[in-house]
Chain A
């Protein structure tokens, strides 16, 4: 390209400079700090000592709650991402139909996406209170139940509620991603398929799914990352109680470093989490780059 823009070899880098500085200082630098800290001795007061090798990692793995927290994180990510992907897909399929009030319905679906997670978690926290919560109130006053139900009778059930709230806030994102994919499908495909005598399932598996697969991939990978990093829901609803049994990795490392003053193992956990994220990010990047190449 011989455009007047390329006056100097260095011009493009000049244009990129502010962005690079911003990212380098506030994103890359913290990453390096966390890596360095994870191999350093850190006292309870936060004083940073010398190199200790993998001691922090050993400490992290030997923490009593480590296994529970890792398992919780796994279930949290799998259930929230899995269920909300399926639900979001179904909702998108329905909301893509033509019906009266579609604009209003879509506007309503935006709500959970746009609202702060702390606020949503607080509201759900209130809804499922046993003594005065709104869910009992509504069900009692509609005459559906006859006695107030304890919606959070054990920590397992509380964890399921947390996953439920996670699903509630994630579904709109999936639905809108799939919707934008669905809208790019030309009606003529379906018309041709109808002429050929294809049924609903044929169309779903042969046309719809392959066509929205890119959107679905993007939303799934992004969701894995968001959900993995999600802090406010668990923190607001149970704070990981009792004894870290409902903690996920993110809330646990927060508790470790800012409440229990175990910064060493916490930084090691950070690095482990970071590497897991890198794996997901790499996957995402490969998908996007490949798509980029296909379209150019």
Chain B
């Protein structure tokens, strides 16, 4: 299908594709990286700015700088004054003169120099070239074609162009961050002697990039005072490529609006997921570090250099299995008890009519509001009286009681959503009320019951505050309290803390995922729709 009106917009879009790519190339060939290398240092003690000694040293330094300038280097002289009062009460001053050479390099000059980012750059350039070629090939002779009726070859070519542009765009931050890492952080760590791995290779590359390889063995000294920075213009690569990308999308789909919306949607989702997962990454990675690495004050490694699996077996000897068992007892017992009391109550609420039903419902909802925390003092007093202080049983009872409301709430909703006819039929057949409940209603309401069950279990498993107050004997602690033994006042064993946390977290997260859908609808629909 042809439409001659499309020629104009399509030509314009193609022009924008080319323009964006051209702009990117121009940006890449501009000297956007600047390096200040310290080539000469002169410390002059007991010198004050403007005095005789200052002038003579200054002249000396300028001579050195002129010597460098004669070699064709752009040199600047800097001075740093350090004043302090000595033990005799006299003010002394130390002036440090430096001659720094300022060098600018374009991103393109990294090509073929063997940096990690060089390969990224090469890939980026390749993608841009591919995009340009594919777009041109996909447009030749087809400028007046309606986008959603393109022939397969042209559609594929235009798809390819848009995809390459998208990838190139995504490589921009990778490229910039990799260079930042190498130039600022890695070199800083090498010259400070904190990191050895890969030092020689990076030094040779820097020598080639900055000094055409003439520094040789002296490169370490030359890099000692190196500061690297990049111009903010470098980030303009992203809008430049975005222009190309949007134009390419228009050439493929006619309109960019829905594609842009979709891209924004994915971007948002990815950001949310990354932020959510970040603490879990930290937990997992730290759980397998050595103690020294958890306290690494130079921030060297994002991942453990060596995965210490023995952290897991170490926590076994630190009482963690016992804590897990206690948690299992507390949560399991609380769940069973909450269900044993909750199911009959929910059944009565859903199926029977009686005086005070509404009041009981209100009572249940009210009690769901009271977190045990605000009643801590009363609860510990009560437990003292009942001699249930410092016992797993006491914890179990409290958790069951405070989860009763949610359990009844969820269960009642499920029961109401199931028609009573089946039970009535069962009762006419001679089943008692109990029989109707256990043989008919409970199997039918199984999904809702499982949801309530798991929810109570997880709540009790994760409970911390009441347990810290009630439990004083170490062997009675549930896991949430147990892990705090790894973070004592003067020493925190992060690796054990997080290894135990990991073990305590994985099962409940998996359980929770299985009921999430049921749970939210149960909670918010007021339990009526179920």
Interfacial residues, chain A to chain B (CB-CB below 8 A): 1, 3-6, 9, 11-13, 15-16, 18-23, 25-34, 37, 91, 94-95, 97, 99, 101, 105-120, 122-124, 126-127, 131-132, 134, 136-138, 140-144, 146, 148, 168, 172, 176-177, 179-181, 184, 214-215, 218-219, 222, 225-226, 229, 231-232, 250, 253-254, 257-258, 263, 266-267, 270, 273-274, 277-278, 280-281, 284-285, 288-289, 291-292, 295-296
Q: Which residues of B contact A15 (CB under 8 A)?
A: 344-345, 347-348, 352
Is B277 a contact partner of A111 (Cβ separation < 8 A)?
Answer: yes
Q: Which residues of A contact B512 (CB under 8 A)?
A: 110, 113-114
- How many angstroms from the CA of A229 to the CA of B280 in the assembled complex? 25
Complex partner residue of B402 from A9, A26, A215, A266, CB under 8 angstroms: A26
Given A95-B269, A285-B366, 8 more A-B residue pairs with CB atoms under 8 Å apart are A12-B354, A27-B402, A31-B370, A33-B378, A94-B268, A137-B302, A229-B371, A274-B374
Is B344 a contact partner of A16 (Cβ separation < 8 A)?
Answer: yes
- How many angstroms from the CA of A22 to the CA of B398 in the assembled complex? 9
Is B378 a contact partner of A13 (Cβ separation < 8 A)?
Answer: no
User: Does B497 lie at the interface of the complex (its beta carbon under 8 Å from any beta carbon of A)?
Assistant: yes
- How many angstroms from the CA of A32 to the CA of B379 in the assembled complex? 10
Q: Which residues of A contact B294 (CB under 8 A)?
A: 132
Minimal Cβ-Cβ distance residue in A for B286: A126
22 cross-chain CB contacts under 8 A: A16-B345, A19-B341, A23-B401, A26-B400, A33-B377, A37-B378, A106-B516, A114-B462, A114-B512, A116-B480, A123-B501, A132-B297, A137-B299, A141-B181, A141-B185, A142-B177, A142-B180, A143-B179, A143-B181, A218-B524, A277-B374, A295-B528
Q: Which residues of A contact B372 (CB under 8 A)?
A: 30
Is B262 a contact partner of A288 (Cβ separation < 8 A)?
Answer: no
Minimal Cβ-Cβ distance residue in B for A222: B523
Is B376 a contact partner of A16 (Cβ separation < 8 A)?
Answer: no
Is A112 a contact partner of B276 (Cβ separation < 8 A)?
Answer: yes
User: Does B163 lie at the interface of the complex (its beta carbon under 8 Å from any beta carbon of A)?
Assistant: no
Q: Which residues of B contact A23 (CB under 8 A)?
A: 363-364, 367, 401, 404-405
Expressed in whole angstroms, the minimum distance between the Cβ of B350 and any Cβ of chain A is 11
Complex partner residue of B508 from A114, A134, A176, A281, CB under 8 angstroms: A114
Expressed in whole angstroms, the minimum distance between the Cβ of A218 and any Cβ of chain B is 5
Complex partner residue of B177 from A34, A114, A143, A274, CB under 8 angstroms: A143
User: Does B340 lie at the interface of the complex (its beta carbon under 8 Å from any beta carbon of A)?
Assistant: yes
Q: Majority SS of interface residues in chain B? A: helix
Complex partner residue of B520 from A28, A122, A176, A289, CB under 8 angstroms: A176
Expressed in whole angstroms, the minimum distance between the Cβ of A49 and any Cβ of chain B is 14
User: Does B255 lie at the interface of the complex (its beta carbon under 8 Å from any beta carbon of A)?
Assistant: no
Q: Which residues of A contact B92 (CB under 8 A)?
A: none
Interfacial residues, chain B to chain A (CB-CB below 8 A): 176-181, 184-185, 262, 265-266, 268-269, 272-273, 276-280, 282-283, 286, 294-297, 299, 301-302, 337, 340-342, 344-345, 347-349, 351-354, 357, 360-367, 369-379, 381-382, 397-398, 400-402, 404-405, 408, 420, 424, 427-428, 433, 458, 461-462, 464-465, 469, 480, 483-484, 487, 494, 497-498, 501, 504-505, 508-509, 511-513, 516, 519-521, 523-526, 528
Minimal Cβ-Cβ distance residue in A for B399: A26
Q: Which residues of B contact A99 (CB under 8 A)?
A: 262, 265-266, 269
Is A141 a contact partner of B376 (Cβ separation < 8 A)?
Answer: no
Expressed in whole angstroms, the minimum distance between the Cβ of A234 and any Cβ of chain B is 11
Q: Majority SS of interface residues in chain A? A: helix
Interface centre among B296, B405, B526 (most CB of A within 10 A): B526
- How many angstroms from the CA of A219 to the CA of B524 in the assembled complex? 8
- How many residue pairs at the A-B interface have CB separations less than 8 Å? 305
Minimal Cβ-Cβ distance residue in B for A140: B299
Is B365 a contact partner of A288 (Cβ separation < 8 A)?
Answer: yes
Minimal Cβ-Cβ distance residue in A for B295: A132
- How many angstroms from the CA of A6 to the CA of B404 in the assembled complex? 25
Q: Which residues of B contact A109 (CB under 8 A)?
A: 272-273, 276
Is B524 a contact partner of A177 (Cβ separation < 8 A)?
Answer: yes
Q: Which residues of A contact B494 (CB under 8 A)?
A: 126
With A16-B344, A118-B480, A257-B376: A37-B381 Cβ-Cβ less than 8 Å: yes
- How many angstroms from the CA of A117 to the CA of B483 in the assembled complex? 12
Expressed in whole angstroms, the minimum distance between the Cβ of A255 and any Cβ of chain B is 11
- How many angstroms from the CA of A291 to the CA of B469 in the assembled complex? 38
Minimal Cβ-Cβ distance residue in A for B394: A26
- How many angstroms from the CA of A129 to the CA of B519 in the assembled complex? 36
Is A232 a contact partner of B347 (Cβ separation < 8 A)?
Answer: no
Expressed in whole angstroms, the minimum distance between the Cβ of A47 and any Cβ of chain B is 12
Q: Which residues of B contact A277 (CB under 8 A)?
A: 369-371, 374
Is A18 a contact partner of B345 (Cβ separation < 8 A)?
Answer: yes
Is B524 a contact partner of A30 (Cβ separation < 8 A)?
Answer: no
- How many angstroms from the CA of A257 to the CA of B465 in the assembled complex? 14
Complex partner residue of A27 from B278, B351, B370, B424, CB under 8 angstroms: B370
Is B178 a contact partner of A34 (Cβ separation < 8 A)?
Answer: no
Q: Which residues of B contact A278 (CB under 8 A)?
A: 366, 369
Q: Which residues of B contact A218 (CB under 8 A)?
A: 523-524, 526
With A180-B525, A214-B524, A277-B370: A91-B297 Cβ-Cβ less than 8 Å: no
- How many angstroms from the CA of A32 to the CA of B400 in the assembled complex? 19
